[in-house]
């Protein structure tokens, strides 16, 4: 039976993990029945008919603003592992690389896969994944590209900032002349700053851009750059953000600053790392992003209809 607001008590089986510090909650059983359409059609049904389930899975009291949820679904295509729809505290994500790495590690933990190559279906298209013997997961993400260069944003209370807009499976504004010190101890200030950039950018005619990516020099000698990524629901990514890393590669490739196949190590605000490279595909790039995830819990969540906060605490 599919999850419903009418049932008194429902059990949902989930596996929690983190990828380079960023949590993913994979729903393995008890989720909504979204039919047999494409993943994009399934996401539309999810959003229209089962949004209460999204909120119940990732918002407090069972989750937090930082959680990314991943609904793992069976599909008709037997050549793929299945499909996945990513969501967060306020809605749905196009693609999510850290979540994909978390899902692959989850499937390995459950004994469903062993090291090898696989394909996963997402609402933004199929992605290829590779699980290595040492637990590293490499994701060949969706084609990525830069659409705008040198956009100046007038940020209230701060200097004008200039950056690029790029697609890496989600829409990003990427900038490095923000004047902010990228330091984990400044997470609150960075969040407020990036939120103001986002509001100003959206008001300036770019409403689809919902991830803000601030760049700075690397802290670690083995990294090429550090980022602070503000996600759509105002939580910052603890990982280096795989779709954000893909968007960065698209900008570097477009500028001629990183050659095809050359390595780029992206460091997060907490010091964790993704390694990445790309291949050209026409005028877009195919990003390859690698990192590791660790399973932190296998649990049964209870949805008790008499609980006033059964469907999550929303803003």
Classify 191 as helix, strand or coil.
Answer: helix
The residue within the footprint of ligand PYC, chosen from 22, 124, 164, 213 (CB under 6 A), is 22
Rounded CA gap, 18 and 103, in Å?
Answer: 10
CB of 46 to ligand PYC, least distance (A): 17
- Cα separation values, 227 from 37, 108, 174, 273, Å: 37, 29, 9, 10
The residue within the footprint of ligand PYC, chosen from 71, 96, 194, 269 (CB under 6 A), is 96
C-beta of residue 36 within 8 angstroms of C-beta of residue 112: no
CB of 63 to ligand PYC, least distance (A): 14
Tell me which stretch binds ligand PYC (CB under 6 A): 93-101, 142-150, 188-196, 259-267.
Answer: 93-101
Q: Which of residues 31-90 bind ligand PYC (CB under 6 A)?
A: 68
| 241 catalytic per annotation | yes
Q: Which of residues 121-160 bind ligand PYC (CB under 6 A)?
A: none
Residue placing its CB nearer to ligand PYC in the complex, 170 or 180? 170
Q: Please classify residue 253 by burial: count the beta carbons closer than 10 Å to its beta carbon, then call 0-12 exposed, 13-18 middle and 19+ buried.
A: buried
Rg of the Cα atoms in the chain: 19
Please enumerate in sequence order all residues whose Cβ is within 8 A of that of 3, keeping only pairs 6 or more positions apart, or say none.
Answer: 10, 12, 30, 31, 32, 50, 53, 303
Please enumerate in sequence order all residues whose Cβ is within 8 A of that of 59, keeping only pairs 6 or more positions apart, or say none.
Answer: 65, 89, 312, 313, 314
Q: Which of 96, 175, 251, 310 is catalytic?
A: 96
CB of 168 to ligand PYC, least distance (A): 7
The reply on whether position 237 binds ligand PYC by CB under 6 A is: yes
Rounded CA gap, 289 and 278, in Å?
Answer: 9
The reply on whether position 166 binds ligand PYC by CB under 6 A is: no
Q: Which of 175, 231, 241, 251 is catalytic?
A: 241
The reply on whether position 243 binds ligand PYC by CB under 6 A is: yes
The residue within the footprint of ligand PYC, chosen from 32, 242, 287, 312 (CB under 6 A), is 242
Rounded CA gap, 169 and 99, in Å?
Answer: 12
Tell me which stretch binds ligand PYC (CB under 6 A): 58-66, 91-99, 143-151, 216-224.
Answer: 91-99
| 310 catalytic per annotation | no
- Under the rule (CB under 6 A), what is the footprint of ligand PYC? 22, 68, 93, 96-98, 170, 231, 237, 239, 241-243
| Residues with catalytic function | 96, 241
């Amino acid at each position: 039976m599919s999850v419903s607001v009418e049932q008194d008590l429902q059990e949902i089986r989930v596996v929690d993990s983190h990828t380079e510090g960023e949590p993913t909650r994979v729903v393995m059983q008890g989720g909504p029945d979204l039919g047999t359409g494409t993943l994009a059609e399934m996401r539309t049904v999810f959003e229209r008919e089962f949004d209460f389930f999204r909120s119940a899975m990732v918002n407090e009291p069972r989750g937090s603003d930082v959680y990314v949820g991943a609904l793992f679904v069976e599909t008709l295509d037997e050549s793929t592992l299945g499909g996945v729809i990513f969501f967060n505290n306020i809605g749905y994500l196009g693609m999510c690389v850290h979540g994909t790495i978390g899902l692959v590690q989850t499937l390995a933990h459950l004994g469903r896969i062993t090291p090898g190559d696989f394909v996963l279906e997402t609402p933004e298209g199929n992605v290829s994944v590779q699980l290595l013997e040492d637990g590293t997961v490499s994701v060949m993400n969706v084609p990525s590209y830069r659409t705008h260069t040198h956009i100046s944003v007038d940020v209230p209370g701060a200097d004008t900032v200039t950056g690029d807009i790029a697609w890496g499976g989600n829409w990003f504004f990427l900038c490095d002349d923000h004047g902010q010190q990228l330091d984990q101890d400044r997470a609150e200030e960075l969040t407020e700053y990036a939120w103001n950039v986002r509001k100003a950018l959206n008001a300036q005619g770019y409403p689809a851009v919902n991830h803000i990516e601030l760049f700075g020099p690397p802290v670690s000698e083995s990294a090429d750059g550090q980022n602070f990524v503000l996600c759509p629901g105002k939580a910052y990514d603890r990982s280096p953000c795989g779709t954000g890393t893909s968007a960065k590669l698209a900008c570097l490739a477009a500028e001629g600053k990183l050659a095809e196949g050359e390595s780029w190590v992206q460091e997060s605000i907490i010091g964790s790392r993704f390694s990445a490279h790309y291949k050209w595909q026409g005028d877009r790039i195919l990003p390859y992003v690698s990192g590791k995830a660790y399973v932190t819990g296998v649990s049964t969540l209870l949805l008790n209809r008499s609980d006033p906060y059964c469907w999550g605490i929303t803003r």
